[in-house]
Amino acid sequence: MSIILWIIIGLVAGWLANLILGGGGGGLLYKLAVGLIGAIVGGFLFDKLNLHVVPDFWGNLITATIGAIVFLLIWRAIRRT
C-alpha cells in the first residue's frame, strides 16, 4: 500500500474516531496521528482476536477506525487521571 493511501486512511480513521467519540477537536496532524496509531492498534487487536477483514481500502479503514477508537478511549482515560 502506498504512503499516500496510508495517510488518507489515517486521516479518515482519525476523523471518524473523533466524530464517533465526540470532543477533542484537534487539527489535521492530530487526526492523522490518531488514525495511524489506530491502524497499528487495530491491526494488533484484530490479529490477537483472530478477526479477518478484506485487505482493501474499506477493510483497512474499518480496522484503523476501530483501532483509533480504542486508542482514543485509552488515551482519554489516562489523561483524566
pLDDT tens-digit profile of 53-80? 888 889 989 999 999 999 999 988 998 8
Residue matched to cell numbers 484503523: 64
Cα dist from 41 to 19, 60, whole Å: 18, 12
Which of 72, 63, 8, 20 has the alpha carbon at shortest distance from 40? 63
Confidence at 81, pLDDT banded by 50, 70, 90: low
Summarize pLDDT for 11-51 with one digit per residue, the tens.
Answer: 898 889 988 988 766 777 888 888 888 888 988 898 899 98
